[in-house]
Structure 1
């Protein structure tokens, strides 16, 4: 669940070149997109299918979006691209393969290390893709005229249904886009244009009877195929959720401190994902399997320095260290208890509460009772006090 940022880029062309046959324009567009690092390109009309619109409306009605209130605002704007921009006539959907060079689930057995979602191990994909999208949009304007708007996970755009309609892939049972060429590892971006462009054929569903993604979820976040309850999803809990991690999900988190790749990594179509992978999306070595002990030492300045240009930076230091402490509690490593103990006096109640839970998991009953007595003698926050009392 990456964060949303409002905004869009709007470019305007003043002329329309004559003599551009639709097929020639389509080929030239694809060639330029691939030159700029995009692995998939497709064109569709600015229409969300009734089936996808209805699924989104059911998702909102069920409340399964949790605290992501922006999804529930004016849902009609999401189910009809023309309400976002009435002049749009075609949507160009672009995909960038970010398939990892190793199975991201391997780190889950290294309990003193931190598991960070593949998409967040490098530079913020919003910035990486938007730069290329703007360049492609300028090329389109310069060569064909018209107006364009550029989106990367911004504004009220339903990227996955549009990508499906444009032939880039299909929405799998885990609700993410699946590509026959790149599996579940595609970043998506969109260019809205006033040009009437020939649409590509939509992709059909190739999931068949496979349940690998559904069965892999640690928190049973899929009540049914093609249906996600975000409130149970580790990506939501570690990124979008601003409060304490609910106790019922803490053990299942393991050492996942930012996002969760389990359902994506389980997809059999990933066998093709390494082909065409762009080096600019490679993971930073420091974020492949960082030490929980080191991450627990981060103050705000150190957090900002480590995650410069990273999507992780947007959740802030306190939420991040909260996640680290849950992983420390799940590590089974008593040697990490001093790191958790130090954070019981952190200025943030969110961090102090998570530290109390981590100590509950790592200390014996007598040692925890002593730590709880000392903390409760000075703790003023009701939520943090409840964490200590729950362990006694």
Structure 2
């Protein structure tokens, strides 16, 4: 946009107003960053060249545009980056201990905490759009585009530059006041707003997240091989889950929170300020046999508005079959589990049949 001298003088006050409006819309923090990410291009290219993105072709399809926001949205000079907490109110004060108990229960179907409520893409995008419209109402038309995990944008580096937190050794963003249980969204704008300083990094010598990763996906501080990550295997991977990883997945049927559960900073995790992220359909307490019994119509109905629906019923059954196979460690030959698996042994999907056969074999070995 054409920035008049009068507007330039008003930019600090506009930045303060934007942050206040963001809080009114349910964001927990709003900050501003420049969009120079050139220093990350070599690392991004090396990560892609090593194939660490697996089947996530969208990570590579836009080339270095991911590190060049001004190429994605011409005219961009700043990113307004917002944080929204998602920890459901149904989680106990010591929610990490609550999650550990779920991991240790062979009957439990563990869904990543972020996915138990409404799809965050819709929630954040709508509120970011409302924030942009509020800005437009104050200053008139300007160039902008709102995103949340929906475009080739390096969101976490922008959030780190803006001072929302720092990249932990697990690559997630960490906040000293909120841990890592939050979503991030941004508005790329053509307004030269004053930027906020970064916070610095505060992981110190801790390696809890690296040590806790069930599949060894965190290769070292800030180095993640997505092909080994349970979130990738249960959400992004479309085909068969490699057998070497199936026993390591345990009872995690959609995503994985292990690196967050062990992180000391998550004792400061904040409850969601809005009801959208309340747990739905009992996903915080579900069991493997019950969820495996959902037919496609029930899955689609219950998962309406949930991020889980995008994997579809076939992959839902695939993931649950792996969990039921792993229950054999503690409950070998359990008749309820065997009956559930046998009921799906002739499923029309070859993908489901393969994982059911593997699970049954685990129970009769």
Q: Same fold (TM over 0.5)?
A: yes
Q: CA deviation at 1:274?
A: 2.3
2:200 aligned to 204, 217, 222, which one?
204
Maintained 8 Å contact 2:324/2:359: yes
More off after superposition, 117-126 vs 67-76: 67-76
Q: Distance in 1 between matches of 2:215 and 2:47?
A: 18
> Which residue of the other structure, out of 189, 194, 203, is the alignment partner of 2:190?
194
CA contact (8 A) 2:86 2:272 kept: no
- What is the aligned partner in structure 1 of residue 218 from structure 2? 222
Per the alignment, residue 132 of structure 1 pairs with 127
Are 2:306 and 1:305 aligned?
A: no
- 1:180 corresponds to which of 176, 190, 196: 176
* Aligned mate of 2:116, from 115, 121, 132: 121
1:315 to 305, 311, 316: 311
1:257 maps to: 253
The match for 1:390 is: none
**Does the 8 A contact of 1:105 with 1:261 survive in 2?**
no
| Correspondence for 2:56 among 65, 68, 75 | 68
1:32 Cα deviation after fit: 0.6
| Contact kept in structure 2, 1:97 and 1:187, CA below 8 Å | yes
The answer to which of 120-129 and 282-291 deviates more is 282-291
Q: How much has 1:275 moved relative to structure 2? A: 5.7
Q: How does 1:41-52 map to 2 (within 5 A)?
A: 41-50=30-39, 52=40
Confirm whether residue 28 of structure 1 aligns to residue 37 of structure 2. no
Shift of residue 20, structure 1, vs aligned partner? 6.4
Aligned to 1:8: none
**Structure 2 regions of 5+ residues with no counterpart?**
none
User: Could you say which residue in structure 1 is the equivalent of 2:240?
Assistant: 244
SS where residue 345 of structure 2 aligns?
helix
- Offset, 1:23: 2.6
Q: In the alignment, which residue of structure 2 is the partner of 1:362?
A: 363
Task: Give 3-state SS (helix, strand or coil) of 2:61's partner.
Answer: coil
Q: CA deviation at 1:273?
A: 1.2
Correspondence for 2:78 = 90
Q: 1:123 to 1:275 in 2, by over 3 A?
A: closer
Distance 2:5 2:303 in 1: 43
For these two proteins, the number of residue pairs brought into alignment is 351
Post-superposition shift, 1:201?
0.6
2:266 to 265, 270, 277: 270
Q: Is 1:171 aligned to 2:160, yes or no? A: no
**Displacement of 1:257:** 0.2
Q: Distance in 2 between matches of 1:273 and 1:17?
A: 41
User: What residue in structure 1 maps to residue 227 of structure 2?
Assistant: 231
Q: Secondary structure in 2 aligned to 1:246?
A: coil
- Partners in 2 of 1:65 and 1:19 — Cα distance? 41
Larger radius of gyration: 1
- Partners of 1:66 and 1:276 in 2: CA distance: 32
**Corresponding position: 1:37 with 2:17:** no
Please give the alpha-carbon distance, in whole angstroms, between the structure 2 residues aligned to 1:143 and 1:89: 19
1:183-222 deviation line (CA, Å, top 9, x unaligned)? 1112010101111100111221111111011111000111
Q: Kindly provide the CA deviation profile for residues 287-342 of structure 1, in whole angstroms up to 9, marking residues without a partner as x.
A: 11212111111222111011110000000000010000100011133120111011
Could you say which residue in structure 2 is the equivalent of 1:161? 157
**Alignment correspondent of 1:324:** 320
1:56 maps onto 2:44 in alignment:
yes
SS at the partner of 2:344? helix
- Shift in Å, 1:85: 1.4
SS at match of 1:180: coil
8 Å contact from structure 1 (residues 221, 228) kept in 2: yes
**Residue in 2 aligned with 1:142?**
137
Shift of 1:54: 2.7
TM-score normalised by the chain length of structure 1: 0.86
| Alignment partners' CA distance in 1, 2:310 and 2:133 | 29
Q: Mind listing any 5+ residue stretches in structure 1 that lack a counterpart?
A: 1-11, 366-392
Q: Are 2:148 and 1:152 aligned?
A: yes
- Deviation of the 1:22 alpha carbon: 2.6
Match of residue 388 from structure 1 = none
Give, in whole Å, the separation in 1 of the partners of 2:323 and 2:198: 41
- Structure 1 pair 339–18 and aligned structure 2 pair: CA distance change class (3 A): same
Equivalence for 1:291: 287
